[in-house]
Chains A and B, each alone.
Chain A
Amino acid sequence: MRRKAGLAVAAALTAAALPAVGPIPVQAQSYWVYVAAESEDEVSLLRYDAGGDLVVEKTIVTGWLAAEIEAPHGLAMDPAGEYWYLTLGHGFPNGRLVKYETVSDTIVGVADLGLFPATIAIPPHGALALAVNANFHGDHVPSTVTIVDLETMFPIADVVTCTMPHGSRFNADGSKHYSACMMDNQLVEIDGATLDVTRRLDLVANEPAHAPMDGHMAMAPPGEDCSPTWTTPHPDGNRIFVPCNKGDVILEIDLDTWRITRRIEAPGAPYNLDLTPDGSRLLATLKGSAKLGIWDVDSGELLHLIDSEMRVTHGVVATPDGRYAIVSVEGIGGDPGTVEVIDIASGTRMASARIGKQAGGITLWRMEG
């Protein structure tokens, strides 16, 4: 069963890495996602059967201290589908990367990270993870991206990037890694082989940037703050999308010229992004307005704006067949976390399920059918 699941996801990911981008009209029947509930210390495994209900199949309690919230935040899937990875935000004081085996959902490895690690990226070869240490504690000091060897779970290095890095993502062939600097208004590129920072882009000035100084944030002109929260490379390998959480815009950046080439209006504080594997549809959670936006990538036209059942939309993943967007919604205070399945073509919510509080990190495990 696991072999079959791994094959399906691997196929979809490999397809996404092919040079010629085209529609992948494969439709599956069942989809499994893991979603982290940050204020519940839980990760839920949910299954969606196309046209049916979204069902919580299992809830995995995370962390080591029953009486402390350890804040499960980011999730990532091993390309072969055999493991899933979770960042725990709170530690002593550093957070951790935890490696779980799928199916049994048992811990098989742990690596130390930095202060409040958030998003994880794994390149297609699956040998490494790059976890951004977001350090949400509020200190205006440059933080790091931790590189972890996933076989040994050894943290090889901490690469200094910027203040409050977030949105860790590799491009389709794993040759480049991107992350955003929420407090420095930068996009940072790391080479996938050397794992050194290769380029920085000031997302306000739209020009290459230097590394931020300790305690000195990039000062955006009034009304031009960006606060980028995510990075999503396009599968064509030529561009990347970055949401400005404070600018109500999604930036398209040309990777050759290393300049912003398009601004897509996205009112409502865009937060996390994803693209359908064929690169035709851009998905964005709009954290402030509790919606999911779906755009046509070529035209930049907003196709659908879908209200969520709860407030504070957080994560989004497109299913590898490009059919659905699966969205995590945090809620506020005592609200339960929510996971919603949206039909991308019609913009219709197909199903939803309640999980633990502050649903955030989300990763697709497998699809079958």
Chain B
Amino acid sequence: MKTRSNIRPAILILALAALATTQAAAQEVARVEVSPATLSLEVGETATVSATAYDAAGNVVDIPFLYFSRDGRGSLAVNRTTGEFEAHKGGEYTILARALGPGRISGTMTVTVAFPPLDRIEISQDGGRYYVGVTLRHKATVIDQADDERDVPVTWSTSDESVATVDRFGVFSGHAPGEVTLSAAAEGVAGQITYQVTDNPVTAMAVEASQARGRTGDVIHFAATASDAGGGTVDDIPVTYGLIADPDVIATADFPPAEVDGMGRFVAYKPGIYTVTASVPGQTAHATVEILPRHVAEEVQLVGHAPVRNVSTSDLWVWEGVDGRDYAITDTHSGHGSTYWWDVTDPASPVLTDSLIVDARTTNDVKVSEDGELCVISREGASNRRNGIVIVDCTDPRNIEIISTYDDELTGGVHNLFIYDDHVYAVNNGIRFDVINIEDPANPHRVGRFELDTPGHAIHDIWIVDGIAYTSNWNDGVAVIDVGGGDRGGSPENPVEIARFRDIGGATHAAFPYRSPTGKFYIFMGDEIGAPAFDGQEADRTPQFMAGYIHVVDFTDPENPEEVARYEIPEAGSHNMWIDDDRLYAAFYQGGLRVLDISGELKGNLYHQGREIAVYKSYDPDGVVANAPFTWGPQIHKGNLFFSEYFSGMWAVKLQPRRTLIP
């Protein structure tokens, strides 16, 4: 059976191949020429290119072509079959004609689309009035007649160099009183701004720190006051802040020991003595502060472990049940659709009370209603591709019962969800969240949905506090949405967006709002990024790694949010988080569980400020992957810190004051 007919069939295969090869060779495309080879035209004009295919002997081959332009995407509208195209934007582009035949042979031609003449140059500068000696940088934006911004070098000049000069970077310096016009010119078009340079009236300078002594990580505000000879305040002269650092420990090739920004906000990474200078032309003042170690580290005590060793664990939720006892739910990932209920009243000895298997491979997220009676589980990987959510009666966590399922238009999978005020906010694996009324949990029904309006938008997570939803939208950052608690008239039926913020990087996976006792309202935005070192093709040899960090955004003024700080663990990536009482509890995958002091105002990289209270990495020799911390999500509950570990289930730890003496 194995070999009887091997030789003849093999010959037949080769014979067929040879026949096919012979037939094809006569028409095999060896090269493609595109005519014309080059073309120049104006924006708005159309033209047509045509391709001809030749075989190796130079004979024309009759074959269809596809025309397209990779670098002209958005700039050239190319008809893929006729080769006709219209120029939309200036530039040099390549049109490729692909012969639809074996060998993937193509030819190319070059299109040069003349840029439209420039229309205008707009000049912008930082605030402040021009007194003699003041120096500020300007930026020029060049816009053509198609209203497109152009990358064209500009030439800077001033109308009177005895009054003011400008360098090639647009840095403008006033030298003497008088009127002067600053120009940025290119291709016959110029933008201009006229200044009145006046005498510098400042005769005295003072700077004051908001506190004389602080700890690493404390944000100290330096306020400068410039005064004239009459004692009046000159508040429109730009002030430059500088820093003279004398850290306690000096190391080479280290990050700066402290920083101060243009608004006089100072933060130190190392203890020491720091002098901040505030300067205006001809006057400088300084103030010195002492920075002490933060001393916030605490001991971590292992309390208990609820092991799950046959499947990976995803999210968890801990709550006080209707019977007054404490319970936790843990979900599973890439497994068999299971969810586990635990009695954690004694967190040192978690007791498995019940479990549920639904038609899914991943039950990524679980939440419990505010009254502790309903548990809602997300589903992915259902065998019938009808994923959606599962609503469970967990009044008695020893005898849980499925009440209903809901999957209408959630068939691609629900990845995350939140329960708020008798509604489930379910994030599908695509582009929106749906609002599902569960007042009657046996008859859930959709009442609303929300979707961003940006091209290619995607959503990953949702969190709701006081009727405001915070959604995490990858490249679109965080969206703040009124679902009943805001002032925009939002409701579950009609979610209304309040604000949106895209952080640096644009990989927003989770967001957690926090109203600090300082009065600041922060949103912590966590990345999820594949680690550059992770080679997905080497599963057996490469451990799982993730990258990314937590961005801290000051949302106190929702109209003007500002990214002020970050928490970046160099060797690990961020995942889920929880915040309570000035403490951030953050899961950092291979970086374990981290507890961070977020008291006070926040600025800079919090990792380097001595704010880390604790780090705990759980090692389970019997885990799905042995001794491999991969922390998924934390939750603080009645003083115990519970967290789920991807490879080993749920753990509970407790923080205790550090027992080492602090000098």
CB–CB B381/A50 < 8 A: no
Q: B102: which A residues are within 8 A, CB to CB? A: 79-80, 124-126
* Mask of A44-78 contacts with B, CB within 8 angstroms, 1/0: 00000111000000011111111111000000000
A124 to B98, CA, bound (A): 15
With A136-B411, A138-B409 as given contacts, are A334 and B336 in contact (CB-CB < 8 Å)?
Answer: yes
Residues of A within 8 A of B5 (CB): 25, 27
| Binary flags per residue of B84-101, CB closer than 8 Å to A gives 1, else 0 | 000000000000101111
Contact of B334 among A40, A51, A140, A174 (CB under 8 A): A40
Which residues 318-361 of A have a CB within 8 angstroms of B?
321, 330-335, 357-358
Partner of B530, one of A66, A107, A135, A156: A66
- Are B457 and A105 in touch, CB under 8 angstroms? no
Residues of A within 8 A of B14 (CB): 7, 11
Among candidates A115, A154, A174, residue contacting B68 with C-beta atoms closer than 8 Å: A154
Bound Cα distance from A228 to B414, whole angstroms: 25
| Given contact pairs A60-B537, A369-B9, a sample of 7 additional A-B residue pairs in the complex whose CB atoms are under 8 Å apart | A14-B17, A39-B362, A64-B530, A93-B431, A93-B459, A157-B80, A174-B100
The number of residues on chain B lying at the interface, defined by a beta carbon within 8 Å of a beta carbon of chain A, is: 75
Do the beta carbons of A127 and B99 come within 8 Å of each other? yes
Q: B638 interface residue, CB < 8 Å from A? A: no
Residues of A within 8 Å of B530, CB to CB, are 64-66
Asked whether any CB of chain B lies closer than 8 Å to the CB of A178, the reply is no
Q: Does B456 contact A (CB under 8 A)?
A: yes
Which parts of B102-148 form the interface with A (CB within 8 Å)? 102, 104, 106
Q: Cβ of A128 and Cβ of B100 under 8 Å apart?
A: yes
Which B residues from 426 to 444 make CB contacts under 8 A with A? 428-431
Mask, A115-135, CB within 8 Å of B = 1, is: 110000001111110000001
Partner of B546, one of A28, A66, A94: A66
Sample 20 A-B pairs with CB under 8 A, ordered by A number: A25-B5, A41-B334, A51-B1, A51-B2, A61-B536, A64-B530, A65-B530, A66-B530, A66-B534, A66-B536, A66-B545, A69-B362, A105-B537, A124-B102, A136-B412, A138-B407, A151-B104, A154-B70, A312-B383, A331-B383
Would you call A90 and B9 a contact (CB within 8 A)? no
Q: A139 in the interface, Cβ–Cβ < 8 Å? A: yes
Asked if A136 meets B546 with Cβ closer than 8 Å, knowing A60-B537, A65-B528, the reply is no
Instruction: Say yes or no: is B538 at the interface (Cβ < 8 Å to chain A).
Output: yes
- Contacting pair B537 A92 (CB below 8 A): no
Whether a CB of chain B sits under 8 angstroms from the CB of A149 is yes
Question: Is residue B629 contacting chain A, with contact meaning CB distance below 8 A?
Answer: no
**Total contacting residues, chain A, CB less than 8 A:** 82
Set A196, A312, A333: member contacting B357, Cβ < 8 A: A333
Residues of B participating in the A interface, judged by any CB pair closer than 8 Å: 1-3, 5-6, 9-10, 12-14, 16-17, 20, 64, 66, 68, 70, 80-81, 96, 98-102, 104, 106, 311, 334-338, 357, 359-362, 380-381, 383, 385, 407-413, 428-431, 456-459, 474-475, 528-531, 534, 536-539, 544-546, 575, 589, 630, 646
Q: Assess the B16–A15 pair: CB atoms within 8 A.
A: yes
Docked Cα-Cα span, A311 to B100, in Å, equals: 40
Contacts of B536 in A (CB 8 A): 41, 61-64, 66
Bound: A24/B383 CA distance, A: 37
Binds B, one of A187-195, A247-255, A257-265: A187-195
Tell me what chain B mostly uses at the interface: helix, strand, loop, or mixed. loop
Chain A residues positioned under 8 Å from B459 (CB to CB): 93
Q: Is the CB of A150 within 8 A of B104?
A: yes
A206 interface hit (Cβ, 8 Å):
no
Residue of A nearest to B531 (CB): A66
Q: Is A12 an interface residue (CB 8 A)?
A: yes
Q: Is the CB of B361 within 8 A of A128?
A: no
Write out the residue numbers on chain B whose beta carbons fall within 8 Å of the beta carbon of A196. 81
The interface of chain A, by Cβ under 8 A from chain B, is 7-8, 10-12, 14-15, 24-29, 38-42, 49-51, 59-69, 79-80, 90-94, 105-107, 115-116, 123-128, 135-140, 147, 149-152, 154, 156-157, 174, 192-196, 311-312, 321, 330-335, 357-358, 369
- The residues of A that contact B531 with a CB separation of less than 8 Å are 66
Q: How far is the CA of A362 from the CA of B334 in the complex (A)?
A: 21
Given A59-B539, A195-B66, the answer on whether A137 and B428 have CB atoms closer than 8 Å is: yes
Closest CB in chain A relative to B230 CB, distance in Å:
61
Q: Are A194 and B81 in contact (CB under 8 A)?
A: yes
Do residues A65 and B9 form an inter-chain contact, with CB atoms below 8 A?
A: no
Measured CA separation A90–B428 after assembly (Å): 11
Chain B residues near A115: list those with CB within 8 A. Answer: 430-431
Contact (Cβ within 8 A) A94 B456: yes
B70 and A92 form a contact (CB under 8 A): no
Q: Decide if B104 touches A39 in the complex (CB within 8 Å).
A: no
Q: How far is the CA of A183 from the CA of B610 in the complex (A)?
A: 57
Q: Which residues of B contact A140 (CB under 8 A)?
A: 409
A67 touches which of B360, B429, B589 (Cβ 8 Å): B589
Bound-complex Cα distance A106 to B538 (A): 10
Q: Across the interface, which residues of B come within 8 angstroms of A334, CB to CB?
A: 311, 335-338, 361
Closest to A332 in B: B383
Q: A92-B475, A126-B104, A333-B337 are in contact. Are A151 and B538 (CB under 8 A)?
A: no
- Kindly provide the distance from the CB of A143 to the nearest chain B CB, expressed in whole angstroms: 12
Point out the residues of chain B lying under 8 angstroms from A174, CB to CB.
100
In Å, the complex CA distance between A41 and B66 comes to: 33
Q: Which A residue sits closest to B3, measured CB to CB?
A: A29
Given the complex, which residues of A lie within 8 Å of B411, measured CB to CB?
Answer: 136-138
Partner pick for A61 among B12, B335, B412, B538, CB 8 A cutoff:
B538
